[in-house]
Structure 1
Amino acid sequence: MYDRILFPTDGSDPAESALEYALQIASEHEATVHILNVADTGRDSVTAIRGEVIDVLENEGQRIVEEAAQHARDDGVPVVTAVHQGDPHEMIIDYSQRSSIDCIVMPTHGRRGIHRLLLGSVTERVINTAEIPVVAVNPEGVRPLTYPPRHLLVPTDGSRGAELALTEGISIARATGATLHLLHVVETGSLGPDARSVLKEGELTEQANEIMTEATERTEDSSLDTITSVVKQGDPSKVICDYIDENEIDLAIMGTHGQTDFSRYVMGGVSSKLVRKSPAPVMWVRDPGSESGDVSGS
């Protein structure tokens, strides 16, 4: 399913915990892990970078990728290493395309300062622009990272992005035997107590049922053994995080360009919160034919 997995690293503790997860995915799918370090020499990193500084960054990068590569070898995972210079986000995307990468695994944050690579803004930019799935791993989560997953969650809003996420979720569930959970959140935070709000809430519920019925039919057609579908109300990011906690979800899968008339999951502040706060890793899937999504907040 995934033959080549890209793991960008800056050698920080958050990156190390995400590496463990990347190696679990690679072991399950018998994949090769590509370990990449980018010396941030983009124009925003420092005012001017001299040759000797670049040499130091490259030497440090070689040390970082070799340590990670040894970890992969110890786990019996085939590994390829690379050290490049430039803007981290651009180099990660470029490397993934040139190396025919199937999936990128990144922590949600990492080291700061001149060595910085995996700050949230870089991870979010990769999520917004990559044409392959990107798994964002929160290294501060209290639950153990588990792959293959036992429980998968696909929050759906009926959008093209959500359809792609569901397709990916079905594939992973087939490959791993995981239980697939479908969740639609009726966003009711803006509704008031007057009659117009009651009417709108009824429209929201009707729309939710239609979306969930369509998603459930797709999963049933795929002949998965175990499927759970739920419609809830509230703030989408909070409901999704609570559902992950309460149902011991090991991996959530979401589209990065999802929007309907009645609810928004993966635009602006909702997705930005999920990238940083999800108790479980989140795989983000973007429609290659769409403009870049928005997980930068609003």
Structure 2
Amino acid sequence: MFRTILVPTDGSAGARRAFAHAVALAERYRADVHTLAVDSADGGVDTTARLASTVEAADTTADVTQADRTGVAHEEILDYAEAVGADLLVLGTHGRTGVRRYLLGSVTEKVVRLSDVPVLTVRAGDDARVRFPYQNVLVPTDGSEQAAAAVDPATDIAATCEAHLHAVSVVDTRAMGTVTRPDVLLDQLKSQARSAVDAVAREASHGGVDSVRTAVQEGLPYRALLAYVDEFDIDLVVMGTHGRRGVDRYLLGSVTEKLVRTAPAPVLSVRAPDDAAQSTGTSATPE
């Protein structure tokens, strides 16, 4: 599935961890790796010098190409990804707590929102869980087109790594108190959720995944998914999402963004094909 992997790096500990993870993926998929250092046009931190040491420290059989550019980081990353035909971007990120986790601005967040190809974010920090090959892969779903975009990559990765695939749908119960018959609505939503995870299970089985676990849960989606990640020792979360342009890209709220920031395991964000072209639409659990 992955043939050309791009790893932007600034030489930080998080970037080095992302590079090591990308190399492990590249070796499994026999993919080429490109590393990119972007120096700011205003003469900020020189990242180019750090790039060579990151690559040299890696013990890998993958073909690694080094490049450097000057400019606005996320713009240069997306432009370079298109130029080399990258089909996966791997970036380091860090979790935030308190008020800071609700503030935008990081390069990784902008790339996740704007990239047309899947973006794998790898957390830094002592609480991060970064392991490969993956043993447990989670794909959240609500049956939407955005969620469906994640199923093929999740299936391919789980089959390639001989991992267990977990298909989970979370019924958001926050609106139950505003309807006349919350019990009837809850039953309907749970039935839809069950259909969604069963559909993922069928597709995964057809795609060569030997072990598939399905679950329907209730609660606040991102919190329920975080709890699931911890309970089942998930190594990778694969989620469908949609991109945003203009003012909307600065608005928070998506489940994917919250998991990118808080999940201990890496998160692979996958854009739906129509969204990659139009950047429109909404979804619940996966987005």
TM, length-normalised to structure 1: 0.81
The C-alpha deviation readout for 1:57-104, integer Å capped at 9, x for no partner, is 5xx3321110112123x3333211111011111111110110011211
What amino acid sits opposite 2:48 in the alignment? Q
Kindly provide the amino acid, as one letter, of the partner of residue 6 in structure 2: L
Mark the CA change 1:148 to 1:288 in structure 2 (over 3 Å): closer, same or farther: same
Structure 1 partner of 2:12: 12
Identity percentage over the alignment?
36
| CA gap 1:174/1:269 in 2 versus in 1, 3 angstroms | closer
Q: Which moved more, 1:278-287 or 1:122-131?
A: 122-131
The offset of 1:171, in angstroms, is: 1.1
The whole-number CA distance in structure 2 between the counterparts of 1:16 and 1:79 is 14
Following superposition, which runs of at least 4 residues in structure 1 exceed 4 angstroms of deviation? none
| Aligned counterpart for 2:146 among listed residues 158, 161, 165 | 161
Among 188, 201, 226, the residue aligned to 1:216: 201
Report the RMSD for the aligned CA atoms in angstroms: 2.4
Q: Secondary structure at the match of 1:7?
A: strand
Q: What's the counterpart of residue 92 of structure 1? A: 77
Instruction: Give the structure 1 partner of residue 110 of structure 2.
Output: 125
Deviation at 1:189, TM superposition (A): 2.4
Aligned to 1:2: 2
Report the CA distance shift for 1:141/1:120 in structure 2 as closer, same or farther (over 3 A): farther
SS at match of 2:176: coil
Alignment of 1:24-173 (within 5 A): 24-41=24-41, 49=42, 53=43, 60-72=46-58, 74-109=59-94, 121-140=106-125, 142-173=127-158
What is the Cα deviation at residue 143 of structure 1?
4.9
- The code of the aligned residue for 1:65 comes to L
Match of 2:170 among 185, 196, 201: 185
Whole-Å separation in 1 of the counterparts to 2:235 and 2:209:
18
Deviations 1:21-51 (Å, cap 9, x if unpaired)? Answer: 112212222222211111123xxxxxxx3xx
Higher-Rg structure is 1
Task: Tell me which amino acid in the other structure corresponds to 2:236.
Answer: L
1:71 counterpart letter in structure 2: A
Query: Offset at 1:226?
Result: 0.8
SS at match of 2:272: coil
Of 292, 295, 298, 2:279 maps to 292
**How much has 1:156 moved relative to structure 2?**
0.7
In the alignment, is the contact (CA less than 8 A) between 1:33 and 1:77 conserved in 2?
yes
Q: Deviations over 1:110-168 (max 9, x none)?
A: 9xxxxxxxx86321221122121100111125254112211111001111121120111
Q: Quick check: 1:242 aligned with 2:257?
A: no
Residue matched to 1:46: none
Alpha-carbon distance in 1 for matches of 2:94, 2:105: 5
CA distance in 2, matches of 1:223, 1:285: 20
Change (3 A) 1:127 1:195: same
User: Normalising by the residue count of structure 2, what TM-score does the alignment of the two structures yield?
Assistant: 0.84
Question: 1:228-274 CA distances to partner (integer Å, 9 max, x unpaired)?
Answer: 1111111110111111111111111000139xxxxxxxx82422211
Partner of 2:182: 197
Question: Relative to 1, partners in 2 of residues 1:269 and 1:131: Cα closer, same or farther, differing over 3 Å?
Answer: closer
- Could you tell me which amino acid in structure 1 is paired with residue 231 of structure 2? E
Unaligned runs of 5+ in 2: 96-103, 244-251
Aligned partner letter, 2:87: D
* Cα deviation 1:176-222 (Å, max 9, x = unaligned): 21111100001112322874322321221122122222222222333
Is contact 1:141–1:280 with CA below 8 Å preserved after alignment?
A: no
| Deviating more after overlay: 247-256 vs 286-295 | 286-295
